[in-house]
Amino acid sequence: MLPVTTALIATSVAMFLLQSVAPGAFVGLALWPLGEGAGFGPWQLITYGFLHGSLLHLAFNMFALYMFGSAIERVFGGRRYLIYYLVCVVSAAITQLVFASVSGVVYPTVGASGGVFGLLLAYAKYFPNNRIMLLFPPIPMPARVFVALYAVLELFLGVSGAEGGVAHFAHLGGLVGGFLLLHYWRGAGSRGRSMR
């Protein structure tokens, strides 16, 4: 496993273990809606992405981070990969804050899912034909199809409210943030080549 992916997973696992010992100490690190609960702080735009609500939540996100993050770290290199991941985490947080303000949602948000969804998008871009096997049902499909279907499902669940307690719009925010950063990097690279 590559160093940045290893560090991200190790940090999330360590934070989960610390949460288990002293849960109240981490309330201010979750992403709170503006003006609610423990109060919003700008650091929460990143710190919420290293907290998880349950062992299953942590395990699912860390498995996805290992599977997709390792491949993307190889493509981007450590520094650019870390920037990309954190941009996706922050864009997911901003999307969640906007949604919370519009909908009146008052619960805090935790989890690396926004960053993971950004990694899924990058994986679909750089490895579009790689097969991803769904768990339920066990159907293999190309990465680009998997990510497109997953995005549509997240949008449906977010709009319909069919699965409460899950920050579906934050997931979509991670996708959008990843898309915008990849688009920006692509444009910057094109401009750099044209000037030489």
Write out the catalytic residue numbers: 113, 171
Q: Is residue 168 a contact partner of residue 109, using CB atoms and an 8 Å limit?
A: no
72-77: long-range pairs with CB below 8 Å, 24+: 72/119, 72/122, 72/123, 72/126, 73/2, 73/4, 73/5, 74/2, 75/122, 75/126, 76/122
SS (H, E, C) 6-67: HHHHHHHHHHHHHHHHCHHHHHHHCECCCCCCCCCCCCHHHHHHHCCCCHHHHHHHHHHHHH
Q: Is residue 123 a contact partner of residue 147, using CB atoms and an 8 Å limit?
A: yes
